Amino acid sequence: MTVPAAARGVWCEHALLDGRGVCAAVRVEVDAEGYVHSVVAGVPAQDGDVLLHGVAFPAAANAHSHAFHRALRGRTHDRGGTFWTWRSTMYRAAAALTPGLYEELATAAYAEMVTVGWTSVAEFHYVHHHPDGTPYGEGDADDAGPHAMELALARAAVRAGIRLTLLDTCYLAGGFGKHPEEGQRRFSDGTAERWLERLASLRASVSALYPEHQVSVGAAIHSVRAVPEDQLAVIAEHLPPDLPLHIHLSEQPAENDDCLRATGLTPTGLLRRHGLVGNRLSVVHATHVREDDIAALAAAGAVVVLCPTTEADLADGIGPAGDFREAGARLALGTDQHAVVDPWLEMRALEHGERLRTGRRGHFDPEALHGIAALGGAAAQGRRGAGFRPGSAADFMAVDPHSARTAGSSREQLAYSATGQDVTGVVVAGVLAARNGVHTVLGDPADLLVAAIARLDEATEAQDVPARDHQTARDHQTAGGS
């Protein structure tokens, strides 16, 4: 087979090769489209090769992200609380977002992902409209135009050099039998039909602007509590069959209880009733599923997206990852609310969760963990996974095996000891994207995050002032009336 003229090389000091363990001096030929053409071990680097020092692994694919949640890190942990109290803080941040703010914050969040080894991301996106629910493109002269928020995310991903699967999300209700709350109005299109129309328009806009390997559009149903059953039926009938479909599923016991009361079925059972459980479906969390739900999802070939650090942070519980694996389900990892943005810690948390759940060690060996992080996440996005084999995406992450955290570790077991701090280089499509925690184009993501979060804070504070003034006026009226 002839190597394309536009091919480039990536040389790895060491690399984990399928079935061969960690090999030295591995050179990867990358074709013009950014996919692996050939892999040879025990050879020197060539002029112009990207050099990866340490031990290289297939890069990770982030199967679940809410980019703006990054602004909440370190701010929702005091005074206890629950998932539901955390959610109210999240709604305040969502209400303050503008297309410009969202692009800035998402660029910073995606740059952070890239520097630690995430090279693709499934963005579960539902902040579609103006805060009052008016669609972009139907406002005043200063309106940012149709799909303003979605295109802001696309631009952010391109700037950060991360492959984006934009999961446009249907979000219509505030719960079973409930209208959207005030903080949810900008999420809703009103009906599934209108959401499907906007989704089709968004797909056309994105495909006209970006190649699919860079930015693609998928679909999501926020949850069974956020999309009424009659609207699920519309989606099942009319959603294009080629799109990946994601949903938050059985994240909270309350969701299961409400669904059982409203429909007589578990959330998984409700999706099955409408033919939505299949091999294009990715279910996020699935923390509180029943045995029959696990069997149904596995039999259908669905991907189960686990977010261990988020599930721990929000006290959601420890999901049955081992049971899903034994049933034959495909597993993937996501960072969700970004309390942690580190594929190494997510991999380790997956194994540790199973140890805590079962009282036994050794559920997911390192090879399995890297497969879940790279291939499972890519499957959830409908993308080719990263790896050291021809046809794989040429996306790699290398770590230092001699840091304070990894010193003494077996090279094959770095998944149990390394963190994002140990990443020495990240390659996306054969191109160096980050070196030693610094993005090659955008610089230190910490600087981007500090600036973006400060601007979002200003916007959040500005929106809170009218609300406080309105409440003060109401208090005065009440006091005067008594």
Convert 178-204 into a string of H (helix), E (strand) and C (coil). Answer: ECCCHHHHHHCCCCHHHHHHHHHHHHH
Do 157 and 114 touch, CB atoms closer than 8 A? Answer: no
Residue 132, amino acid: D
SS3 label, residue 240: coil
**Cβ-contact 36, 58 below 8 angstroms:** no
Query: Which of 188, 277, 199, 265 has the alpha carbon at shortest distance from 226?
Result: 188
Query: DSSP string covering 93-108, please?
Result: HHHH--HHHHHHHHHH
Q: What angle separates helix 99-116 from helix 445-481, to the nearest 10 degrees? A: 140
Compute CA distances 104 → 116, 336, 481, whole Å. Answer: 19, 18, 47
Q: Distance between the two ends of the chain, CA-based, in angstroms?
A: 88
For residue 102, the one-letter residue type is: Y
> Could you give the CA distance from residue 44 to residue 53 in angstroms, rounded to a whole number?
13
What are the two backbone dihedrals, phi and then psi, of residue 270, each rounded to the nearest 5 degrees? Answer: -65, -45
Catalytic member of 69, 125, 246, 285: 285
- Active-site hit among 336, 395, 400, 422: 336
Phi, psi at 101, each rounded to 5°: -65, -40
Q: Are 300 and 274 in contact (CB under 8 A)?
A: no
Q: What is the CA radius of gyration of the chain?
A: 23
402 included as an active-site residue: no
Give residues with Cβ within 8 angstroms of 294, minimum separation 6. 320, 323, 324, 327, 329
- Beta carbons of 123 and 166 less than 8 angstroms apart: yes
* Beta-bridge partner residues of 39: 28
Tell me whether residue 18 is one of the annotated catalytic residues: no
User: Left, alpha or beta for 7 (phi > 0: left; psi -120 to 50: alpha)?
Assistant: beta
Active site residues: 285, 336
